[in-house]
Structure 1
Amino acid sequence: MNQWEWNVLEEKEQVDYVVIGEAEVRKGSRVRLHPHEGGDIFDLALRGQIATVESIEQDYEGQQHICVVLEDDPGRDLGMMRQPGHRFFFKLTEIEPLPEEEQHERKKALPPSILIAGIGNIFLGDDGFGVEVVRQLADRISPDSVRIVDFGIRGLDLVYALQYGYETAILIDAYPHGQTPGTVSVVELDANEAADSTGNVLEPHNMHPMNVLRMARSMHGPLKRVLLVGCEPATLGGDEGCMGLSEPVEAAVAEAVNATEALVKRILEGESIPGSHQSQ
């Protein structure tokens, strides 16, 4: 993403709803699809299908598009998480809002409320900490209300995931902040501070948490509480890089797994979470 694209993205206004006919269409509205003749063959195959509006997007030229998820798609929950392959874009003239009495017929599946995101590059020593932690968490946390993803170095994917509206996002990453290597810290990140910062434009493989939050905030998504479970690294691989965690960071993985499980339990039970703490 170059500077011009970044500036356009930051200046783009959020679209909460559009009016089609006499009906307001917004996220969650149920619509029937009427793709135009001569359009994409995949879109034409969806003629007459019922879908749910996932978002209303505006391109660089100011044109509005309706992003929908098919109600009969077995992977519709992935579409509501803004994952590719399960979201479809249509012009306003290709959308028919369903009557008011049909808007609430389909009961929406309860979406995940917590995102656990592993961050890091496994080729840079202890930077792979977050990747290893979420790998172990995947076998230990199973509630439908929790989504666990190894984002690795896919910064833009994490930015888009944060647009989904999770009540809490837990980022797990190496966290250099002058402590003894292997120190595990839980820190609440300030999304507003990230939005006001003047950090570098996010590169596709630049996963600094504050840069990720800055871009996510600029896209006007419902960014709520963001926690960081971080570990002080001993080495980030040097000039040539290296695979594998150092001994103190390897030993800290289990502690981070336990800390994350405890956070999830407290969040789901409605308990308060301390702003930040650390242990060695």
Structure 2
Amino acid sequence: MTGREASITPRILVAGIGNIFLGDDGFGPEVIRRIPHRLAGPCVRLKDYGIRGMHLAYDLLGPWSALVLVDAVPDRGAPGTVHMFEADPETLTTPTALDAHAMDPGAVFACLNALGGAAPRTVVVGCEVETVEEGIGLSETVAAAVPAAVRAVEDVVADLLARSMVERA
């Protein structure tokens, strides 16, 4: 049994990631800013990591039962579309040289592994970008998706907490 499994109280980290100076890449930080503060508490921590990937990797060394990553995802032909999916940190870990300034989830998980840690269950709430050109502010299309992403994060957190309670029973 690992420290995560032995934890009595579920701990969920909701991490907004992205560069606010690159248009829609700032989606994660904007969603974190708009999540009601009531969601945070002893079991849930909300944090805007921006582009501080190493900071996120160090924080993941703690006993988290789950991670919710809020991020921009590549345009697949439907900018503004919100996607939710469970990520497999093992497949995202890149064996290339580590970059302490990288915010790519694969680089974060690679740093975490290099530090001797292991990623918890990871759910991604992402939005397809319209533009990642230099500039502050989301495109209208992606900005319109922020409320749906906030609801998605609330739903994911509620589901993770409920599953944790069932697993503990």
Under TM normalisation by the shorter chain, which class is it? 0.7 to 0.9
User: Closer, same or farther in 2 for the Cα pair 1:111/1:202, shift >3 Å?
Assistant: farther
Distance 1:177 1:245, change over 3 A: closer
Q: CA deviation at 1:194?
A: 3.0
Structure 1: which amino acid aligns with 2:160?
Answer: I
Identify which of 195, 198, 201 aligns with 2:98: 201
Per-residue CA distance 1:121-172 (angstroms, 9 max, x = gap):
1111001100010011143413310000011111110010111121100111
2:144 aligned residue:
251
1:180 aligns with 2:78: yes
Q: Could you list the runs of 5+ residues in structure 1 that have no partner in the other structure? A: 1-26, 28-109, 272-280
Measure the CA separation in 1 of the matches of 2:41 and 2:131: 34
Aligned residue identity for 2:153: T
Pick from 127, 134, 143 the counterpart of residue 231 of structure 1: 127
Match status 1:128 vs 2:26: yes
Q: Distance in 1 between matches of 2:123 and 2:10?
A: 16
Q: Secondary structure at the match of 1:215?
A: helix
Residues 113 and 146 in structure 1, CA contact (< 8 A), matched pair in contact too: yes
The correspondence of residues 23-172 of structure 1 with structure 2, limited to 5 A, is 113-172=11-70
Q: Give CA deviations for 1:195-253 in whole Å, capped at 9, x if unaligned.
A: 4x33442232x21111111211222214221111111010002xxx1111001100100
Q: Which amino acid aligns with 2:151?
A: N
Once the 2 structures are TM-superposed, how far is the Cα of residue 192 of structure 1 from its aligned partner? 1.7
What is the TM-score of this pair, normalised by structure 1?
A: 0.53
Alignment-mate amino acid for residue 69 of structure 2: L
Return the structure number with greater relative CO, CA threshold 8 A, min gap 6.
2
**CA 179–156 in structure 1, closer or farther in 2 if over 3 Å, else same:** same
Runs of 4+ in 1 over 3 A off after TM superposition: none
Q: Please say if residues 92 and 105 of structure 2, whose CA atoms lie closer than 8 Å, have aligned partners that are also in contact.
A: no
The one-letter code sitting in structure 1 at the alignment partner of 2:140 is E
Unaligned ranges ≥5, structure 2: 165-169
The answer for the alignment partner of 2:158 in structure 1 is 265
Larger Rg: 1
Tell me the equivalent position of 1:45.
Answer: none
Is this contact kept in 1: 2:65–2:120, CA < 8 A? yes
Aligned alpha-carbon RMSD (Å): 2.1
- Give the Cα–Cα distance (whole angstroms) in 2 for the partners of residues 157 and 119 of structure 1: 11
Considering fraction of residues, name the structure with more strand: 1
8 Å CA contact 2:85, 2:125 repeated in 1: yes
Structure 2 CA distance for aligned equivalents of residues 128 and 226 of structure 1: 20
